[in-house]
Amino acid sequence: MRARITAAALALTAGAALLTATQAGAAPAPKPVTPAAWCLQKGGTPADYRAYYDNQLNLTPLGTVRELCRFQNAKDNTQIILPSDTLAADKPTLAALAYIRKPALPPVPGGANPAAVYCAHLGGTSQFGEGKLDVGGWIREGDRVSRDNLHSMCMFADGSAIDEWGLTYHTFGVVRGANLENKFRAHIPSAQGREAWNRV
């Protein structure tokens, strides 16, 4: 009886040792890819950008700083910018759906900004206040504070955003910076028939 108990104890000890050795040799679970890392993997440059209000005289810094991902095309010197977390989201965002599905541009009143009109038509906003002249954008931290470095974004209710001009040009088949269609982490299904562009 004692021999059986000793044999069972030895077997348990050996099994535990084998399990410990197997666990020690197993590869650690991969860490989730951060939005910045996803941006880099897809050829973009992540950086912190600060929001600025433009009162037509001065650019006023606001408290919001967000990591944006910039894609630059060296050949034609165009770019497109969007939040890294919009690009790396694991589910479709409104910004990604708008970019991929290219809803039609509505009629644009004379003198209006077509990109701002398109953004508003999609339910987003690039406004920084109530009036049409209450505008603003995002400037990369460390860059000179000027309108030349100000990037206007179309912001959606789900928190996603995308460069409003890059979005508008893409609707007409013009790629600025880079084609983002295969860069979003989320699978974006095609719209079925006359289904709304924002329906998943």
When comparing pLDDT for 28 and 178, which is higher?
A: 178
Structural domain tally of the chain? 1
Report the chain's C-alpha Rg in angstroms.
25
**What value does the mean pLDDT of the chain take?**
86
Residue 28 lies in a domain: no
Residue 107 lies in a domain: yes
Residue 26 lies in a domain: no
Residue 190 lies in a domain: no
Residues of the domain holding 121:
35-182
Residue 21 lies in a domain: no
In this structure, are residues 167 and 26 in contact, taking their beta carbons and an 8 Å threshold? Answer: no
How many angstroms separate the CA atoms of 107 and 187, rounded? 30
How many secondary structure helices (H) and strands (E) does the chain include?
A: 6, 6
Per-residue model confidence as pLDDT tens digits over 52-98: 999 888 999 999 999 999 999 999 999 999 999 999 999 999 999 99
For residue 22, the model assigns a pLDDT of 47
Per-residue model confidence as pLDDT tens digits over 44-62: 999 999 999 998 889 999 9
User: C-alpha distances in angstroms, 51 versus 63, 152, 186, 190, 194?
Assistant: 7, 10, 26, 33, 36
